């Protein structure tokens, strides 16, 4: 999600008040970050929390598929 929004780890860390390492750790597969971490990252990215926690968050937005880029 961070890359899709075009933000670096450092930008998300600064925007969320988290350490850069905490953001990187939260992105790793198999990691279940604290809800406070997810909330902070979502706020920094400017997306709803559901964008980060849905199974196919890269392609879903509120239950609808994202439109294809033309």
Q: How far apart are CA 56 and CA 18, in angstroms?
A: 25
Q: Is residue 67 part of a domain?
A: no
Q: Is residue 70 part of a domain?
A: no
Q: Is residue 41 part of a domain?
A: yes
Number of compact structural domains in the chain? 1
pTM: 0.73
Cα dihedral sign, 2-23-30-50: negative
Among 50, 29, 30, which residue's Cα sits nearest to residue 38?
50
Residue 50: give the domain boundaries: 2-60
pLDDT block averages, 10 residues each, the chain of length 70: 89 96 93 94 94 66 45
Task: Residue 20: give its domain's CATH number.
Answer: 1.10.260.40
Contacts within 8 Å (CB) and 24+ apart, 60-66: none
Q: Is residue 38 part of a domain?
A: yes
Half-sphere exposure of 61 (CA within 13 A, CB side): 6
């Amino acid at each position: 999600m961070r890359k899709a929004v075009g933000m670096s780890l450092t930008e998300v860390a600064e925007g969320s008040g988290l350490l850069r390492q905490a953001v990187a750790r939260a992105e790793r597969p198999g990691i279940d970050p604290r809800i406070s971490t997810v909330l902070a990252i979502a706020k920094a990215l400017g997306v709803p929390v559901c964008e980060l926690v849905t199974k196919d968050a890269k392609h879903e937005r509120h239950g609808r598929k994202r439109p294809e880029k033309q």
